[in-house]
Amino acid sequence: MAARSLIVLAVIAAWAIVYLLFFSHFEESRAQHGLYARFRTELASGDAPLAQPIPGGAPIATLSATSAGIDGLVVVEGTTSAILKDAPGHLPSSVLPGQVGTTVIYGKSVTYGAPFHDINHLRPGAVIVATTGQGTFRYRVDGIRHAGDPAPAAVAGASRLTLETAAGSGFLGSFMPHSVVYVDAVLSGDPVVRTAVATLGPNESAMAIDDSLVSLFELVLALQLVIVLLLATVWVRAKWHFPQVWLAAVPAIAAAAWLAGGVSANLLPNLF
């Protein structure tokens, strides 16, 4: 019985890794498709968000940076692990793109499409284009920083953009990032008027994890569901023919495993 339990736990762990590194990309792609359609409609109708308060997960801009493989990527409001599974997120305590001040956008580097995986390929002079309800804004990269490096000095009346994601080093650095990389850019042209910003919420800082009791409880329930379904499949196998077991068990186990994988992602650092 102990050996069987270890096998079940090993299978669950292996699935979590496979889901996060590969299958989670499909989740992000589906979310981006829906967000893009929604934001395009809001831009056309003039309803795109222009100031706080903005609901978490609402689309606020699109982002393009050819050198980093980013093309029309939708940016949403908020930077918790759950929100960043759908899209890069705008830090609520920073101004919106194009406004006077510094805009900060977080994005994942490993899981859920890894939209910011290649932002370290951006070099000084590279162009980043952001489109919001206030217009289209072209930024030019003027530096790349790592944890501990000084931030660019603020310039009165200027608009800056900072992209942030997780970074690592060595052979496994791409899969086990442990620090943060920052890409700084300055607006080419005139900024628009600054609107109010929001306060930084829980679990929204760089590399934060959602270790709330709710997330832990959801993960425990999801894992219990997977284990119960696996044990039920073993029990039913002795009573049913294999085709019947396959048709009944596989869809249920797959759905439960998918749910568990998604919930487990909330416990990872938000930039992973």
| Secondary structure E strands in 78-226 | 89-90, 101-106, 127-132, 135-146, 159-167, 179-188
Residues 174, 120 share a domain: yes
CATH number assigned to the domain comprising residue 54? 2.40.260.10
Residues 137, 74 share a domain: yes
Residues 6, 84 share a domain: no
Residues 223, 124 share a domain: no
| 7 within domain boundaries | yes
Backbone φ/ψ region at 158: left (φ over 0), alpha (ψ -120 to 50), beta: beta
- Residue 271 pLDDT class (50, 70, 90 cuts): very high
| 202 within domain boundaries | no
84 vs 12: CA distance, rounded Å: 23
pTM of the entire predicted model: 0.87
Q: Is 70 exceeded by the pLDDT of residue 187?
A: yes
pLDDT tens string 161-186: 999 999 876 555 556 677 899 999 99
Residues 232, 148 share a domain: no
229: containing domain: 2-16+210-265
| 217 within domain boundaries | yes
| 194 within domain boundaries | no
269 vs 272: CA distance, rounded Å: 6
Least confident of 77-91, 142-156, 226-240, 257-271: 226-240
Residues 114, 173 share a domain: yes
Give the number of domains in the chain.
2
Residues 11, 140 share a domain: no
Q: What is the pLDDT of residue 246?
A: 67
Residues 216, 156 share a domain: no
| 195 within domain boundaries | no
